Chain A
Amino acid sequence: MSAAAMTATMKTQPLVSDDGKPLVAYHLVRWHIAAAIISLIISMTAGFLYSLQFVGYYPFPDSELLSPGHIRLIHTNMAAYGWLVNGFTAMCYYIIPRLTGYRVWSAKLGNLIFVVWQFILLSTIGGLLMNRAQAIEWGETPTGFKPGSFDLNWIPVDLLVTVGAVLLIAQLMVPMFKARDQKFYVTLWYFTAGLIWLALTYLMGNIIPEWVLPGAAGAAVTGLFIHDLVGLYVTPMGWGLMYFFVPLILRKPIWSHSLSVIGFWALAFFYPLGGVHHFLISPIPDYVEFGAITTTIAIEVVVTTVVVNFFMTLRGKWSALRTNMAIRWFYAGAVMYFITCLQCAFHVTWMFQKVIHFTDWVVGHAHMIMYGTFTFWIFGTIDWLWPRIMKREWYSNRLRGWHFWLSTIGIVIMFTDLTISGLVVGFMQRELNPWSDMVQASIPFWWVRTFSGGMMITGLLCGAYNMWMTSRSDRVYVEDAHYIAAEAD
């Protein structure tokens, strides 16, 4: 389906599939959104607690169970597997049937996947608290086996994730496979490839370094894994959402179809090649590092085309930034996406790496992309979807505003603060300052980081409370006249 035809189809396509059953399994969308929000609250609380360790006020200093290390792992794993995966799955359940005209494989299977996935999250939290983490960054989900053997010492979470991911992929691939005679809309390009990449990435990253190859060769794979999880799952899913919701809400097609094509295929080709850039100037062979640096800079060109495409789409509709909260989330996220990617094109070079690697600069970068961009985009879709799937008016518009502004100001402060901290500490490290001087120099920055994190959590709690009260409200949602054709039938 071409970009121009997409909005038209959205209006005319009836929301029942060919056998007369409802097209979208709304309960799965709701459940996954709820699970995602709960995961994010857990993740951000953990992150906040962990930041207290840095400023010397960690509340459980004598507890082995709640040690700062465990809390850190919960922070990252719940952000990735709890918040992002649940959030994107909810959106897939909503979007894929609409764009293909076919239901997902089975609503019952959907219930099973939901239960399996939440069980994975709980057993991950349990495993991390019990020292069962796996030594793969972003993949600390316990293998469940004693290292170097096949004796069980915990629930084998990695296996469960594989099963869960395969079920999820089957569930969502069925409608896309049925629609194989259609020309796909951009969103479905990203979803088709992104779901396959998710499975391949997870298998590669959790099997090869753990069971097959040690040391530097394993590091090449874990670098690829860290990178691919963000680049080949989170990014395609995020852009898929943007390509679906932005034209839908603005009621105009994406500006340029050609730029969409360039954006997608360049992402598919260049993105996975950049994995090794997480371990630059390391024992990994230099030619691989140079390849990774080159392709990473190439990605920046791609990003520019996609961002230009979206801002040209907004041309003539700038007032939507003021009037429509979802558009505001989306474009705030897009601006931050551009900033992070531009930053990436510079700091991937050896010149920058000498200074900023191993410092807070990288932490700031990671938060900006995961929170400032992808989390913002999911927030945007939730803001647009929640009244529609709950059939209730938003409880409070003021809380929606607080959620947006606290999150935005919080993440901008955090990013700026950590970036400066990274430069300060990076240069101190190069100039051979004693280590404790570097720690002391960091402490003011760590205080600001804790403060900005507190702002972001407060924003999230405003949003979550608003969602809860909306679902319990008795004010029935009346569809905006513009969207009636798209939603009512």
Chain B
Amino acid sequence: MERFYTLAFAAGIGCFAVAFILAFIFPWMTIEEYHGAKYRTLEELAETPSASFIELSEKFPEAFAREFPAGVNSDTYGEALRLGRDLYIGQACWHCHSQYVRVVSNEMQRFGPASTAQEYQNALNQPHLWGTRRVGPDLTREFGLRTNDSHIAHLISPKDVVPYSMMPAYAYYFEKDGTPKKDGFGLVTYLQWIGSEYIRQAEEKAADAENAEEGTDG
């Protein structure tokens, strides 16, 4: 019990391995097996550029053409998503905005449906950005709630949009007139993407259910 080998192998490696299996391998297998979550790569996520990305390209045609010469396609959309997410991580946004909704504390009234394991099975949640602190509100159910303009205004000066906000201003990602720089395009595109997987999966599920119903009718 008090010798080097026991300590190194039983405590050092053994106990760690037990915990690794119980607290990681088991939940991982559960998530893969029972939730049937399928991993989606960035290419799959970016296959169809989002409406907000297209809207950005139409609203700021010159700046957009300068930063993304190839125009709107799945490559530039993927690039913008990745860039935005990197900024979101680099600026530690996710340390103040969580990205999961719990079933308790009236969070489903405040934000929307509780989070599922499936919606995080994609390249833009690797590593996940759940966060452990909410100085600002949760962002996972923000999809489709705000326009690009409101995002840009809020990022340039949070206090002008939400009077008591203590969020830092990110005006340096935009020109003086509000035109996004490349980082600004990325950030807004990523913010507009958050939560879209949940909506997509819900729609898919609804469509499946409808098909199944039609099937029984026929």
Q: Could you list which residues of chain A lie within 8 angstroms of chain B, going by C-beta atoms?
A: 53-56, 58, 61-64, 67-70, 72-73, 128, 130-137, 147-148, 176-177, 179-184, 188-189, 192-193, 195-197, 200-201, 204, 208-210, 213-224, 228, 232, 261, 264-265, 268-269, 272-276, 278-279, 281-285, 287-288, 291-292, 350, 353-355, 357-359, 362-363, 426, 429-432, 435-436, 439-440
Select the stretch in B50-58, B133-141, B207-215 that faces chain A: B133-141
Q: Is the CB of A232 within 8 A of B16?
A: yes
Q: How far is the CA of A195 from the CA of B27 in the complex (A)?
A: 27
B120-A214 in contact (CB<8A): yes
Knowing A147-B82, A147-B86, A221-B24, say if A215 contacts B122 (CB, 8 Å): yes
A56 to B164, CA, bound (A): 10
Q: A268-B11, A278-B132, A429-B105 are in contact. Are A216 and B31 (CB under 8 A)?
A: yes
* Mask of B98-113 contacts with A, CB within 8 angstroms, 1/0: 1010111110011000
Q: Which residue of B has the minimal Cβ distance to A430?
A: B105
Binds A, one of B2-10, B60-68, B188-196: B2-10
Contacts of B128 in A (CB 8 A): 135, 209, 214-216, 218-219, 222
Instruction: Report the Cα distance A369→B132, complex, angstroms.
Output: 17
Q: Which residues of A contact B120 (CB under 8 A)?
A: 214-216, 219, 283
* Size of interface on B: residues with Cβ below 8 Å to A: 78
Contact of A283 among B85, B92, B116, B136 (CB under 8 A): B116
- B15 and A268 within 8 A (CB): yes
Question: Could you tell me if A135 and B3 are in contact, using CB atoms closer than 8 angstroms?
Answer: no
The contact of B20 among A133, A189, A204, A284, by CB within 8 Å, is A204
Chain A min CB distance to B55 (Å)? 26
User: Could you mark each residue 127-151 of chain B with 1 if its beta carbon is under 8 Å from any beta carbon of chain A, else 0?
Assistant: 1111011111100000000000000
- Chain B nearest Cβ from A92, distance in angstroms: 15
Query: A200 touching B165 by the CB < 8 A rule?
Result: no
Q: B75: shortest Cβ distance to chain A, in Å?
A: 14
Of listed B30, B92, B172, residue having the most chain A CB within 10 A = B92
* The 3 residue pairs across chains A and B that have the minimum distance between CB atoms: A215-B120, A131-B90, A272-B19
What is the predominant secondary structure among interface residues of chain A facing chain B? Answer: helix
Q: Are A272 and B23 in contact (CB under 8 A)?
A: yes
Whether the Cβ atoms of A67 and B91 lie closer than 8 Å is yes
CA distance A203 to B133 in the complex (A): 25
B153 at the interface (CB under 8 A from A): no
A196 x B15 contact (CB < 8 A):
no
Q: Are A72 and B166 in contact (CB under 8 A)?
A: no
Q: Indicate if B179 sits at the interface (CB-CB under 8 A).
A: no
Q: Which residues of A contact B15 (CB under 8 A)?
A: 193, 268-269, 272
Q: Is the CB of A64 within 8 A of B172?
A: yes
If A131-B87, A435-B136 touch, whether A288 touches B27 (CB-CB below 8 Å) is yes
Q: With A131-B91, A193-B11, A215-B121 in contact, is A180–B3 under 8 Å at CB?
A: yes
Task: Determine the distance from Cα of A435 to Cα of B161 in the docked complex, in whole angstroms.
Answer: 13
Q: Across the interface, do B127 and A275 meet the contact criterion of CB distance under 8 Å?
A: no
Contact assessment for B165 and A436 in the assembled complex, using a CB-CB cutoff below 8 Å: yes
Inter-subunit contact B117/A276 (CB<8 Å): no
Query: Given the complex of chains A and B, what is the CA–CA distance between A363 and B82 in angstroms?
Result: 30
Q: How far is the CA of A130 from the CA of B87 in the complex (A)?
A: 10
User: Do A273 and B90 touch across chains, with their CB atoms under 8 A apart?
Assistant: no
Closest Cβ of chain B to A461, distance in Å, is: 26
Contact between A58 and B168, CB atoms less than 8 A apart: yes
Q: Could you tell me the distance in whole angstroms from the C-beta of A272 to the nearest C-beta in chain B?
A: 3
Contact B95 A210 (CB under 8 A): no
